[in-house]
């Protein structure tokens, strides 16, 4: 028998410790293969021909010249799609290639494959598409009445929440109208992938994505193939943030590869990426809050209008979130809220970190500040008085049964010491609003703080059967975990190892590639769900393996099963008669597959009432800003945050998520917006679409990670990716309002909104 000591725990980090990323060394060495790094012998390069119009009828597509160019192997149009002509995440309405009409700027119309990327680009330019331009529908407010731009109409979904007494009112009433511009996920690694024909006539696709099995379902449908002939493997993902939940080049690559019988690769350039994925929904929101003189909220009325753009994507779920969480994380006994998402000829919108809750949080937090001002109450105190807690009822009628340490989150963030900032005129020029040489006069700069609170659901809602699958295999003392969870940077690969170590007491955990052929769906890497769902699946699979090991040992050694424990890779009996290394305990491999489901949820009824969500997470931010009101320049100096996390599985990763999520909220607050004119995105580059740099980003300070375990969740851990993106934006705008006295009802806040306010 092996010396048991050699297999003792060597200190590889378990749950709750800051395990390093298993892909970290490869990533710092440039050895990690992103989807843009793929290569195969005999490779062809694909290129997409896209609509230059936001709305037009296609009269004719002439591919003859393009096909005749040397090096060109295929030019495909909608006529070449063998299966379903449309795909979609929830609603199958998006053409693989537009056939008679294009509905947004950049919509794919035709495809080319050639032996060199430059040849492919030239061939794409040689495809002659004749269009009859149509008037684009670009105003979301007109969409419901306008002629439908799609056979199933322009209103994708309206959700009404009627809760309590709709006629209720109270002593203090504040009203406001708010807008959120279109934000882009702006991941760093543009869309890319490679498809190869497989021997059985099927196709193999390597692609960066968020949900392999949903991709497979849609790709197989469009190719007219059974799902098992489409094999999708996750290729290295350069960030996602929601933008990779829908298909982009997936079907296109497979079509070209099937057609040519050769491997085909595609890499979008940045301008194409900006039209090649969905964005965050722009929103227009009207609100009216009613409160008693002591600040107790009585009723919230709201009307939300989201612009879904040309195709449905995940709009139906986004509007549900925006509407369900429209009143904020507060006790609101009466509510009259209606949310609508419409189609327009603007770019399609779908998932982005925060998913609908970002938009309504900007509005409800502005309202809370307005109410605090009307009541002459401290804004933090107003939030504290109304904060949700476990046992409270949401405006959807759902009672919060899980952890809701909202008061703790508020207190931790608000009571954290303010940053020790130098006075404006004592700061180096670089620290002033706008940077060196731009602020006119240090004495004009005003400093202020703002506070905001936000929340959203974790996991999928409204009755969706959300699950994840994992396989655990123990062989010769080594453990391999197979799970199709898409690692997009969030660090699931680290957590999967930590969880397996925790459950089996073995340090060395191998993660098999994420792909569709070896394991069932893991669901989407979105909705802050993978730590919980795929973490739960990995945990369950490991426990099943552990159970079988203990059974075998018990049987073979004739001891009671419940007298055996597995600790640090060693199986021991309580009476000391058995002590065996896990590696030697069993004959042959043991493999177990687990499917993890969260507790079921219900659809919302016609009044928007129902147990629609599994769990909620809360976060607060406090921002400190300097503003030069004359020039409209802003410097965000400090973001302090506290978050309800259930339990921290990996402190370094958790904090990394919070810092990164906060950065995206900073971007939405003061700089990020896709400028869309007549349906056309004007700023399709990083020169014109600005995301925060090292200098734009303030210090992010974590006041507290509130650890109140979530009863249903594996290890009690809540998802942490999205809440930081929700409350950060409104906190900054609150600070800007406090500094300037302006209403600032729209994000991003631009210099002209401060320097040249409209009214």
Partner 1 sequence: MRASTDPHGKGVTMDVTAIVNGVERTADVEPRVLLVHWLRDELGLTGTNVGCDTSSCGACTVLIDGRSAKACNLFAVQVDGSDITTIEGLAIDGELHPMQQAFHECHALQCGYCTPGMVMAAVSLIDEYPDLGDRGVRVGLEGNLCRCTGYQNIVHAVLQAAGEQERHP
| Look-up of token digits 């060109």 | 72
Tell me the closest approach of the beta carbon of residue 600 to partner 1, in angstroms. Answer: 32
Residues that bind partner 1 (CB under 8 A): 18, 20-21, 23-25, 27-34, 36-37, 185-190, 236-241, 267, 269-270, 428, 430-431, 488-491, 652-653, 656-657, 659-664, 685-687, 691-695, 697, 699-700
Q: In the set 197, 276, 489, 665, which binds ligand FES (CB under 6 A)? A: 489
Query: What's the token pair of residue 526?
Result: 């979105």
How distant is the alpha carbon of residue 759 from its chain centre? 36
Tell me the closest approach of the beta carbon of residue 210 to partner 1, in angstroms. Answer: 12
Q: Which does 652 bind (CB under 5 to 8 A by kind): ligand FES, partner 1, none?
A: partner 1
CA distance 484 to 513: 8
Tell me the closest approach of the beta carbon of residue 393 to ligand FES, in angstroms. Answer: 40
Closest CB to partner 1 among 243 and 734?
243
Q: Which does 286 bind (CB under 5 to 8 A by kind): ligand FES, partner 1, none?
A: none
CA distance 719 to 615: 10
The yes or no reply on residue 25 touching ligand FES (CB under 6 A) is no
* Helices then strands, each counted (H, E), the chain: 16, 31
Cα angle 732, 733, 739 (rounded to 5 degrees) comes to 95
CB 407 within 8 A of CB 613: no
Tell me the closest approach of the beta carbon of residue 275 to partner 1, in angstroms. Answer: 15
- CA distance to 386, 475, 645, 651, 735, per residue, from 383 (Å): 5, 54, 20, 28, 16
Handedness of CA 63, 67, 72, 73 (dihedral sign): positive
Closest CB to ligand FES among 218 and 273?
273
Q: Which does 685 bind (CB under 5 to 8 A by kind): partner 1, ligand FES, none?
A: partner 1
CA distance 372 to 488: 40
CB 299 within 8 A of CB 164: yes
Residues paired with 297 in a beta bridge: 291
Q: Which does 237 bind (CB under 5 to 8 A by kind): ligand FES, partner 1, none?
A: partner 1
Tell me the closest approach of the beta carbon of residue 652 to partner 1, in angstroms. Answer: 4
* # binding residues, ligand FES (CB under 6 A): 3
Q: What are phi and psi of 622, to 5 degrees?
A: -125, 130
Q: What are phi and psi of 127, to 5 degrees?
A: -75, 125
Closest CB to partner 1 among 59 and 430?
430
Nearest CA to 381 out of 390, 395, 371, 391 is that of 371
Closest CB to ligand FES among 30 and 437?
30
Tell me the closest approach of the beta carbon of residue 592 to ligand FES, in angstroms. Answer: 34
The yes or no reply on residue 188 touching ligand FES (CB under 6 A) is yes
Nearest CA to 140 out of 540, 676, 668, 667 is that of 676
CA distance 304 to 545: 49
Q: What is the DSSP string of 561-625?
A: GGGEEEETTEEEETTSS-EEEHHHHSSS-EEEEEEEEPPP-----TTS-S---SEEEEEEEEEEE
The yes or no reply on residue 164 touching ligand FES (CB under 6 A) is no
Closest CB to partner 1 among 117 and 176?
117
Tell me the closest approach of the beta carbon of residue 332 to partner 1, in angstroms. Answer: 32
Q: Which does 497 bind (CB under 5 to 8 A by kind): partner 1, ligand FES, none?
A: none
Closest CB to ligand FES among 32 and 286?
32
Tell me the closest approach of the beta carbon of residue 31 to ligand FES, in angstroms. Answer: 15
Cα angle 80, 84, 90 (rounded to 5 degrees) comes to 140
Closest CB to ligand FES among 489 and 569?
489
- CA distance to 288, 303, 327, 371, 380, per residue, from 176 (Å): 7, 11, 14, 11, 20
The footprint of ligand FES on residues 679-718 (CB under 6 A) is: none
Query: What's the token pair of residue 445?
Result: 């700069």
CA distance 266 to 182: 26
Q: Which does 27 bind (CB under 5 to 8 A by kind): ligand FES, partner 1, none?
A: partner 1
Tell me the closest approach of the beta carbon of residue 149 to ligand FES, in angstroms. Answer: 35
Tell me the closest approach of the beta carbon of residue 686 to partner 1, in angstroms. Answer: 4
Tell me the closest approach of the beta carbon of residue 657 to ligand FES, in angstroms. Answer: 12
Closest CB to partner 1 among 244 and 284?
244
Closest CB to ligand FES among 65 and 659?
659
Q: List CB contacts of 25: < 8 A, sequence separation 6 or more.
A: none
Closest CB to partner 1 among 233 and 653?
653
The footprint of ligand FES on residues 366-385 (CB under 6 A) is: none
Handedness of CA 702, 371, 756, 302 (dihedral sign): positive
Tell me the closest approach of the beta carbon of residue 28 to partner 1, in angstroms. Answer: 4
Q: Which does 513 bind (CB under 5 to 8 A by kind): ligand FES, partner 1, none?
A: none
Q: What's the first-to-final CA gap in the chain, in angstroms?
A: 83
Q: Which does 158 bind (CB under 5 to 8 A by kind): ligand FES, partner 1, none?
A: none
Q: Which does 23 bind (CB under 5 to 8 A by kind): partner 1, ligand FES, none?
A: partner 1
Q: In the set 239, 271, 463, 477, which binds ligand FES (CB under 6 A)? A: 239
Residues that bind ligand FES (CB under 6 A): 188, 239, 489
């Amino acid at each position: 028998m092996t010396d048991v000591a050699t297999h003792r725990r060597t200190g590889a980090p378990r749950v709750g410790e800051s395990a390093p990323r298993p892909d970290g060394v490869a990533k710092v060495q440039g050895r990690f293969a992103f989807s843009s790094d793929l290569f195969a012998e005999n490779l062809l390069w694909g290129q997409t021909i896209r609509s230059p119009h936001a709305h037009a009828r296609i009269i004719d597509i002439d591919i003859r010249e393009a096909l005749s160019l040397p090096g060109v192997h295929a030019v495909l149009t909608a006529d070449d799609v063998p299966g379903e002509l449309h795909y979609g995440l929830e609603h199958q309405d998006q053409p693989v290639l537009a056939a008679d009409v294009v509905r947004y700027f950049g919509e794919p119309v035709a495809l080319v494959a050639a032996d060199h990327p430059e040849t492919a680009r030239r061939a794409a330019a040689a495809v002659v598409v004749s269009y009859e331009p149509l008037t684009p529908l670009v105003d979301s407010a007109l969409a419901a009445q306008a002629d439908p731009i799609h056979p199933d109409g322009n209103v994708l979904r309206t959700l009404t929440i009627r809760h309590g007494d709709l006629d209720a009112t109270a002593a203090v009433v504040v009203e406001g109208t708010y807008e959120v511009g279109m934000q882009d996920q702006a991941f760093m690694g543009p869309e890319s992938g490679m498809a190869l024909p497989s021997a059985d006539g099927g196709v193999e696709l390597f692609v960066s994505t968020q949900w392999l099995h949903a991709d497979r379902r849609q790709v197989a449908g469009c190719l007219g193939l059974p799902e098992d002939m489409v094999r999708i493997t996750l290729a290295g993902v350069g960030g996602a943030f929601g933008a990779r939940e829908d298909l982009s080049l997936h079907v296109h690559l497979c079509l070209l590869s099937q057609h040519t019988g050769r491997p085909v690769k595609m890499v979008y350039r940045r301008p194409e990426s900006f039209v090649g994925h969905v964005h965050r929904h722009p929103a227009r929101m009207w609100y009216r809050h009613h409160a008693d003189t002591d600040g107790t909220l009585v009723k919230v009325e709201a009307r939300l209008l989201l612009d879904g753009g040309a195709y449905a994507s995940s709009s139906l779920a986004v509007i549900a979130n925006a509407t369900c969480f429209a009143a904020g994380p507060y006790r609101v006994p009466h509510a009259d809220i209606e949310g609508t998402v419409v189609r327009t000829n603007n770019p399609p919108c779908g998932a982005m970190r925060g998913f609908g809750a970002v938009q309504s949080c900007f509005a409800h937090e502005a309202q809370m500040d307005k109410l605090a001002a009307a009541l002459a109450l401290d804004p933090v105190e107003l939030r504290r008085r109304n904060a949700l807690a476990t046992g409270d009822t949401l405006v959807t009628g759902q009672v919060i049964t899980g952890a809701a340490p909202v008061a703790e989150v508020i207190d931790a963030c608000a009571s954290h010491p303010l940053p020790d900032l130098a006075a404006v005129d004592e700061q180096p020029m670089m620290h002033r609003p706008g940077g060196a040489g731009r602020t006119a006069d240090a004495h004009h700069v005003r400093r202020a703080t703002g506070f905001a609170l936000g929340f959203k659901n974790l996991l999928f809602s409204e009755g969706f059967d959300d699950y994840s699958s994992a396989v655990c295999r123990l062989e010769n003392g080594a453990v391999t975990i197979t799970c199709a969870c898409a690692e997009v940077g969030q660090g699931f690969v680290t957590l999967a190892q930590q969880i397996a170590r925790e459950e089996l007491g073995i340090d060395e955990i191998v993660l098999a590639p994420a792909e569709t052929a070896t394991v069932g769906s893991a669901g989407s890497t979105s909705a802050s769900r993978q730590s919980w769902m795929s973490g739960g699946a990995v945990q369950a699979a490991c426990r099943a393996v552990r159970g079988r090991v203990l059974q075998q040992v018990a049987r073979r050694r004739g001891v009671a099963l419940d007298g055996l424990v597995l600790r640090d890779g060693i199986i021991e009996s309580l009476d000391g008669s058995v002590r065996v290394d896990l590696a030697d305990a069993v004959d042959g491999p043991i493999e177990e597959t687990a499917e993890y489901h969260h507790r079921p949820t219900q659809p919302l009824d016609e009044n928007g009432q129902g147990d629609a969500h599994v769990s909620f997470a809360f976060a607060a931010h406090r921002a400190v800003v300097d503003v030069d009101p004359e020039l409209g320049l802003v410097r965000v100096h400090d973001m302090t945050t506290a978050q309800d996390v259930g339990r921290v599985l990996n402190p370094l990763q958790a904090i990394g998520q919070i810092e990164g999520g906060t950065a995206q909220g900073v971007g939405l607050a003061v700089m990020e917006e896709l400028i869309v004119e007549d349906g056309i995105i004007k700023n399709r580059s990083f020169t014109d679409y600005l995301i925060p740099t090292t200098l734009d980003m303030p210090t992010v300070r974590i006041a507290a990670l509130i650890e109140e375990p979530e009863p249903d969740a594996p290890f009690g851990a809540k998802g942490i990716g999205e809440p930081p993106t929700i409350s950060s934006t409104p906190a900054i705008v609150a600070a800007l309002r406090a500094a300037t006295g302006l209403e600032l009802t729209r994000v991003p806040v631009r210099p002209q909104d401060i320097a040249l306010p409209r009214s």
